[in-house]
Amino acid sequence: MDRGCLDLRPERAERARRRPSRPEYRALSLPKLIQADSMPDRRQFLTSLGGAAIGSALAFRPAPSGSGKPRTDPPNVFFLSIDDINDWIGVYGGHPQAYTPNLDALAQRSTMFTKAYCSVPLCHPSRIATMTGIRPHNSGVYVAQVGWQEQIPGAVHLADHFRQHGYETLAGGKVYHHTDRFGPPGETWLWDQQLFPPRLEHNPNIDGSLNGIPAVRGFDWGTPQVPIEEYGDEKVVAWCLDRLNEPRTKPFFFAAGIFKPHLPWYAPQEFFDRFPVEDVILPTIIEDDLVDVPRIGRNFVDRYTRTEHIAEHGIWDDAVAAYLATISYADDLVGRLLAGLAASPYADNTIVVVWSDHGFHLGEKLHWEKNALWEEATRIPLFIQVPPSLGGSGIAPGRGQASGRTVELVDLFPTLTDLCGLPTPEQCDGRSLAPLLANPEAEWDRPAVSTWMYKNHSLRTERYRFIQYRDGTEELYDHEVDPLEWTNVAGDPAYAAVRDALVARLPQTNRPVDIDPDLDPETGENLSLKSYPNPSAGPVNIEFVLREPTEVSVTIFSMLGREVRQLADGRSFAPGVRSIPWDGTDDTGARLPGGMYLCVVRTLETHETRRIVLLP
């Protein structure tokens, strides 16, 4: 099959490729590459940054580097997370319409890591790995149902480590994942001051649908009818700004968490107005992208039927616009926090770290959200700003620079202890990034490790991504020629030496945990619809379980949402395990081309979806 590029909304393809004419995008002075009328080539954009100073790469004016002798006071730490944000940030070049002037400005005065990766592509385990410095394959904290208290009860947490060494600790917003369930008990032993406000803009709408489309697990967007000051993130920002203006007698470790752009995508209307749906540029995909992906990798794809939902309602461009809008809102919130810090008495002695817990797919590799081991789910933005007080440490403060070395979130714990002159706990799996802050091109032979559920690992070097699943199946992508990870070369003899070298660097410890690896990673629900063999060049058996007699419809769709085969239309079935074969043909009896298809089984009360890979 021709692996040509396509849109899920082909009728809008021409319109989507038109460049928006809004003046704010032209004013960003971003590299020429990302002003193209299509999604940028990730490899070319990152190469354009290299290890050079951000000022030259982005035509920014150099920021002041500070003056005077370095201070001897212990530096403060402002540790700011942005939930679920991928590389759709101006300076990262992930999307040509991203509008993030505050994060772009931060790049002028910090080290921006262009190849930074999460330890786990899910909020709770990623944050536990970050706050303890322990990778999930050593802790056993793989998914949302596994608490750190049971797995690593003696672990030292980042904030508590600073507290034990004389720091005041403060936290506002989402630092751990939903403090009542996943964070340390009440988190009160971690923080001297804290605010974890309810998100009132979500509560009235979480089971509803502001976008006018039936919601699927909170997959919604719009502007709630709630005063803006009642937004959870607004409360967090106001509280943090107040704390930054308070006098302090001790250095502080201050963690702040912005919830946006986590779903649902709720934001003030002005941010949606920046991204008219009719002008949105969509990611480029290929319909048979998952043909060469092993079974476990395909099973991770879009467990919440986002693709079916989007195809059914024709809302891919609406979703992309909403994500861009909430990223822009998050950038506004970040800007206010950083401006408040800059105006505070602590500006010249505070280390600033801005990070995300994981990336996010919006249709790339036919996947939505996180929960996968590919580039979009694992790559994160990461900025570290060093204050003038550390100017004598060999690190140039206030200078914008980019490092293309592969780093990971577990590196933050030892980095901060190193910069602040504290001992680093032996539990930490990461490595201090201080050498890269001093020289972004310093020698660094260390791949980034990401893990998704038990014994499924991804290694990311500066050129390659290697994935090995728990059953031994593999993926290998050469980013020098395949930045969108479309072609799995794990079985290509030309890459045998590369593959063997990467296998040798996989984690050797895989701490077992009492959880079924096939369960839904967030809810623990078991999914009853099955298809086998899958992938298949011949007949596929579609199996489902019925608890009582009912009428069932079984339909096959293309990834564009076009119905190609009706296998059952309200047919009556008795209770039990039932199966319907599909021979890979459409309703006319013609053989369908190889690629990915959606199988939807509906009863009067529910429906489930599975992907089927039809081999050529």
Per-residue model confidence (pLDDT) at position 199:
72
CA distance 136 to 129: 6
Query: Do the domain assignments include residue 456?
Result: no
Do 290 and 425 belong to one domain? yes
- The rounded mean pLDDT for the chain is 83
Do 325 and 432 belong to one domain? yes
Residue at which a domain ends, from 379, 408, 440: 440
Q: What is the CATH number of the domain that holds 197?
A: 3.40.720.10
CA distance 277 to 315: 10
Contact indicator for 598, 559 with CB cutoff of 8 Å? yes
Per-residue model confidence (pLDDT) at position 466:
98
- Of the given ranges (304-308, 323-327, 564-568), which has the lowest mean pLDDT? 304-308
| Residue ranges with strand state E in 183-270 | 193-195, 221-222, 252-258, 265-266
Looking at the predicted structure, is the pLDDT value of residue 220 above 60? yes
DSSP string for 242-263: HHHTS--SS-EEEEEEE-TTSS
CA distance 82 to 356: 5
Query: Do the domain assignments include residue 263?
Result: yes
Query: Do the domain assignments include residue 276?
Result: yes
CA distance 395 to 385: 10
pLDDT tens digits, one per residue of 262-300: 999 999 999 999 999 999 999 999 888 988 999 889 888
Structure-block tokens of residue 398: 């206030």
The pLDDT confidence band at residue 38, using thresholds 50, 70 and 90, is very low
3-class state of residue 411 by DSSP? helix
Do 240 and 118 belong to one domain? yes
Residue type present at position 99: Y
Do 539 and 397 belong to one domain? no
The pLDDT confidence band at residue 548, using thresholds 50, 70 and 90, is confident
Looking at the predicted structure, is the pLDDT value of residue 615 above 60? yes
Per-residue model confidence (pLDDT) at position 526:
37
CA distance 543 to 541: 6
Looking at the predicted structure, is the pLDDT value of residue 519 above 60? no
The pLDDT confidence band at residue 611, using thresholds 50, 70 and 90, is confident
pLDDT tens digits, one per residue of 399-451: 799 999 999 999 999 999 999 999 999 999 999 999 999 999 999 999 999 99
Section 67-76 average pLDDT: 63
Looking at the predicted structure, is the pLDDT value of residue 182 above 50? no
Q: List Cα–Cα distances, 222 to 36, 211, 271, 283, 318, in angstroms.
A: 28, 6, 10, 21, 10
pLDDT tens digits, one per residue of 568-596: 988 888 877 888 999 999 999 999 998 88
CA distance 493 to 488: 12
Residue type present at position 454: Y
Contact indicator for 505, 447 with CB cutoff of 8 Å? yes
Between 472 and 176, whose confidence is greater?
Answer: 472
Burial of residue 587 (number of CB atoms within 10 Å: 0-12, 13-18, 19+)? exposed
Per-residue model confidence (pLDDT) at position 305:
61
Section 53-75 average pLDDT: 44
Cis amide linkage into residue 276, ω under 30° from 0: no
Section 109-137 average pLDDT: 96
Query: Do the domain assignments include residue 48?
Result: yes
Do 23 and 132 belong to one domain? yes
Per-residue model confidence (pLDDT) at position 74:
94
Count structural domains, the chain.
Answer: 2
Residue at which a domain ends, from 375, 406, 440: 440
Q: List Cα–Cα distances, 505 to 258, 374, 414, 453, 469, in angstroms.
A: 34, 18, 21, 18, 14
pLDDT tens digits, one per residue of 472-512: 999 999 999 999 999 999 999 999 999 999 999 999 999 88
Burial of residue 574 (number of CB atoms within 10 Å: 0-12, 13-18, 19+)? exposed
Per-residue model confidence (pLDDT) at position 302:
58
Cis amide linkage into residue 264, ω under 30° from 0: yes
Query: Do the domain assignments include residue 270?
Result: yes
The pLDDT confidence band at residue 217, using thresholds 50, 70 and 90, is low
> Residue 398 phi/psi, 5° resolution?
75, 5
Query: Do the domain assignments include residue 487?
Result: no
Per-residue model confidence (pLDDT) at position 560:
67
Per-residue model confidence (pLDDT) at position 596:
82
Section 527-556 average pLDDT: 84
pLDDT tens digits, one per residue of 83-102: 999 999 999 999 999 999 99
Looking at the predicted structure, is the pLDDT value of residue 371 above 80? yes
Looking at the predicted structure, is the pLDDT value of residue 46 above 50? no
Q: What is the CATH number of the domain that holds 541?
A: 2.60.40.4070
Do 431 and 552 belong to one domain? no
Residue at which a domain ends, from 403, 419, 440: 440
Does the pTM exceed 0.85? no
| Residues recognised as catalytic | 123, 177
Query: Do the domain assignments include residue 97?
Result: yes
CA distance 301 to 372: 7
Q: What is the dihedral of CA 275, 277, 278, 283, to 10 degrees?
A: 90
Per-residue model confidence (pLDDT) at position 303:
61
Section 9-27 average pLDDT: 31
Looking at the predicted structure, is the pLDDT value of residue 55 above 90? no
Per-residue model confidence (pLDDT) at position 567:
94
Query: Do the domain assignments include residue 279?
Result: yes
User: Highest mean pLDDT range out of 155-164, 193-202, 388-397, 558-567?
Assistant: 155-164
Per-residue model confidence (pLDDT) at position 196:
85
Q: Is the dihedral of CA 289, 488, 113, 75 positive or negative?
A: positive
Count other Cβ atoms within 10 Å, centred on residue 12. 17
Per-residue model confidence (pLDDT) at position 603:
84
Residue range of the domain that includes 404: 5-440
Q: Is the dihedral of CA 363, 369, 373, 377 positive or negative?
A: positive
DSSP string for 435-483: HHHH-TTS-----EEEE-STT-EEEE-SSEEEEE-TTS-EEEEETTT-T
